[in-house]
């Protein structure tokens, strides 16, 4: 087992400002990156921008800018998006950087030397906004099959990559690596597509000027996907002999939207096979968001601005909603009303309430000093059990529930099922709230002979809140850090916590002085 984990977002086009779709992929990667760190892995997390191509050239022209000027302006939005969403990326790549030119040209040369690139003539239907060529069969009524906008007829000299040659090898590869494409349903789609036969792929253009020059072929620039996909290696220093590339490659997980899965699951491994480079371990395709039941579009004026969401609700609530609301991999519908509902009913009323109820009682009954769990456990063990939550089984109950939650989150994260991980955490918090309700510490507090039981109930509740804070850290990093500070004052940052050791029952320190409140998820007023 390697102790490294390399995860990537797609690189985002700079012809427009970031929207919820970009935020979604990046947040999903961030949650995974943070989780892997807590699992003890060294993580490299790359994101960045895709700055070449016709789309950007055209947008720049409209704005009377050079493509470079446009890219320099728009990239700032993407660079600012990462701290706004509390993203923990370790690298940021722009495809206009010299290091990327070196990488793309090197990959091109390798493929050429291996006889997989040849000069031909390209003719087809081209959709400018999608930067995709389509065949006669794919185009209906002169419209792009994915976006429905009009396509143009194009013919020009072009270098081709022998994708057709890789059909069998790809099919073999999918068979040997059943987890390469996830989720399963998407994997079947890709396999069916490859089984249908692959055409060679045009990888250069003479009509385009805004791109990376084809080595030794004046007039040709490298066509978008060959350029864009290579970013995943550029980010690690490819083709230099520095140790970074060896350390991190092959990528463990390329996270992408369902619309760009084919490029990652078919073209990318074929390019790498051709150049004799290891193929990535897996590609996961997530679904798309509609907004209040409608497709998100500029013309409808319903594009969700992630900066706006963060200003209104905070990064934690926004992150939480996106990963909790839909089964990761399926499409979902975004609405602020639902976001508020989720954040209030789960983050504020369940998690925030658990923590604050327990801290409030700790302050009231124990002057805020954490009672010793041993003392409580001892008493409980020697007392006959009449009242379920107070008996040893009662205490064991929450430690068992916590262990179950840790395991469930671990399994969910292995499956890239963020929604399941969050459901398991909320389930744990619900159990803990029920435990408080049924143990009635406010009744125990009235009888001095039940002081140890009272201490144990509060210990168990706070300890469960601590474990919930730990498990929430990949999803709501800021709030988790606050909870962690409230429960373990002066301790290490939650980012440095490790699931294997810090999720063990008993991490809450007896004798520690805790605050009487810890406001982490204020109720969102409608
Ligand atoms: N530049 C290419 C990717 C190259 S990767 C080598 C690109 N860029 S993009 O800016 O158009 O899109 C980036 C990501 O945003 C994609 O993963 C896409 O699926 C995602 N989304 C765009 N709109 C979306 C929604 N409405 N909902 C969810 N994600 C969506 O493609």
For the segment 307-352, what is each residue's pLDDT rounded down to a tens digit? 999 999 999 999 999 999 999 999 999 999 999 999 999 999 999 9
- Spatial distance between the Cα atoms of 254 and 268, rounded to a whole number of angstroms: 11
Which pLDDT belongs to residue 437? 87
Which pLDDT belongs to residue 383? 38
Q: Whose CA is nearest to atom 6 of ligand 1?
A: 229
- Spatial distance between the Cα atoms of 431 and 429, rounded to a whole number of angstroms: 5
Closest CA to 276 of 493, 451, 507, 114: 114
In the predicted model, is pLDDT for residue 238 greater than 50? Answer: yes
Distance 378 CA to ligand 1 centre (A): 56
3 state DSSP class of 16: coil
pLDDT in tens, 411-468: 999 999 999 999 999 999 999 999 888 888 999 999 998 898 899 899 999 999 999 9
Which pLDDT belongs to residue 453? 86
Distance 328 CA to ligand 1 centre (A): 15
Q: Whose CA is nearest to atom 24 of ligand 1?
A: 21
Q: 190-199, 294-303, 387-396: which range is least confident on average?
A: 387-396
The reported pTM is 0.93
Q: How far apart are the first and last CA of the chain?
A: 49
pLDDT band at 395 (very low <50, low <70, confident <90, very high): low
Distance 37 CA to ligand 1 centre (A): 26
Distance 20 CA to ligand 1 centre (A): 10
Distance 498 CA to ligand 1 centre (A): 32
Cα distances from 2 to residues 69, 234, 251, 323, in angstroms, run 41, 21, 12, 27
Task: Kindly give the number of the ligand 1 atom that is closest to the alpha carbon of 228.
Answer: 6
Q: What are phi and psi of 230, to 5 degrees?
A: -65, -20
Which pLDDT belongs to residue 394? 53
Q: Whose CA is nearest to atom 7 of ligand 1?
A: 12
Q: 72-81, 226-235, 374-383, 497-506: which range is least confident on average?
A: 374-383
pLDDT band at 299 (very low <50, low <70, confident <90, very high): confident
For ligand 1, residues with CB inside 6 Å are 10-13, 21-22, 24-25, 50, 228-229, 231, 256-257, 259-260, 288-289, 296
Quote the tokens at residue 210: 């805004």
> Which whole number is the average pLDDT over 110-125?
95
In the predicted model, is pLDDT for residue 376 greater than 70? Answer: no
Task: Kindly give the number of the ligand 1 atom that is closest to the alpha carbon of 256.
Answer: 17
pLDDT band at 396 (very low <50, low <70, confident <90, very high): low
In the predicted model, is pLDDT for residue 390 greater than 70? Answer: no
Return the higher-pLDDT residue of 438 and 290: 290
Distance 28 CA to ligand 1 centre (A): 13
> Which whole number is the average pLDDT over 257-280?
98
Which pLDDT belongs to residue 406? 98
Contact (Cβ atoms closer than 8 angstroms) between residue 109 and residue 203? no
């Amino acid at each position: 087992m390697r102790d490294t984990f390399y995860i990537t977002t797609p690189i985002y086009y700079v012809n427009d400002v970031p929207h919820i779709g970009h935020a979604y992929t990046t947040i999903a990667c961030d949650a995974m990156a943070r989780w892997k760190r807590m699992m003890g892995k060294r993580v490299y997390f790359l994101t960045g921008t895709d700055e070449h191509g016709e789309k950007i050239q055209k947008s720049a022209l409209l704005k009377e800018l050079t493509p470079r000027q446009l890219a320099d302006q728009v990239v700032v939005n993407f660079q600012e998006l990462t701290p706004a969403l509390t993203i923990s990326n370790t690298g940021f790549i722009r495809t206009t950087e010299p290091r990327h030119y070196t990488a793309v040209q090197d990959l091109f040369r390798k493929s050429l030397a291996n006889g997989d690139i040849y000069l031909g003539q390209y003719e087809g239907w081209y959709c400018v906004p999608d930067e995709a060529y389509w065949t006669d069969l794919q185009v209906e009524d002169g419209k792009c099959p994915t976006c429905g906008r009009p396509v143009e007829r194009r013919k020009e000299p072009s270098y081709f990559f022998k994708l057709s040659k890789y059909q069998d090898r790809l099919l073999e590869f999918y068979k040997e690596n059943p987890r390469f494409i996830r989720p399963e349903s998407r994997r079947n789609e890709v396999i069916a597509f490859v089984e249908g036969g692959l055409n060679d792929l045009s990888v250069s253009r003479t009509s385009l000027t805004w791109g990376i020059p084809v080595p030794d072929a004046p007039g040709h620039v490298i066509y978008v996907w060959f350029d864009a996909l290579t970013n995943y290696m550029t980010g690690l220093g490819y083709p230099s002999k520095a140790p970074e590339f060896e350390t991190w490659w092959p990528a463990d997980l390329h996270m992408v939207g369902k619309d760009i899965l084919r490029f990652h699951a078919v073209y990318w491994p074929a390019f790498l096979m051709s150049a004799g480079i290891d193929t990535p371990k897996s590609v996961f395709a997530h679904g798309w968001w509609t907004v209040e039941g409608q497709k998100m579009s500029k013309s409808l004026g319903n594009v969700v601005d992630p900066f706006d969401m963060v200003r209104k609700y905070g990064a934690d609530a926004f992150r939480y909603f996106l990963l909790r609301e839909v089964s990761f991999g399926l499409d979902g519908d975004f609405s602020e009303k639902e976001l508020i509902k989720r954040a209030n009913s789960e983050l504020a009323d369940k998690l925030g309430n658990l923590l604050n109820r327990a801290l409030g009682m700790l302050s009231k009954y124990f002057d805020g000093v954490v009672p010793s769990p041993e003392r409580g456990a001892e008493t409980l063990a020697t007392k006959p059990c009449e009242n379920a939550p107070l008996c040893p089984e009662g205490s064991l109950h929450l430690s068992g529930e916590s262990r179950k939650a840790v395991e469930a989150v671990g399994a969910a994260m292995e499956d890239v099922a963020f929604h399941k991980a969050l459901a398991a955490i909320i389930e744990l918090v619900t159990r803990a709230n029920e435990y408080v309700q049924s143990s009635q510490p406010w009744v125990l507090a009235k009888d001095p002979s039940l002081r140890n039981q009272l201490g144990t109930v509060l210990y168990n509740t706070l300890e469960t809140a601590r474990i919930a804070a730990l498990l929430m850290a990949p999803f709501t990093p800021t709030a988790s850090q606050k909870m962690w500070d409230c429960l373990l004052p002066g301790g290490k940052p939650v980012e440095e916590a490790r699931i294997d050791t810090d999720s063990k029952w008993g991490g809450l320190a007896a004798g520690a002085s805790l605050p009487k409140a810890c406001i982490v998820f204020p109720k969102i007023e409608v």
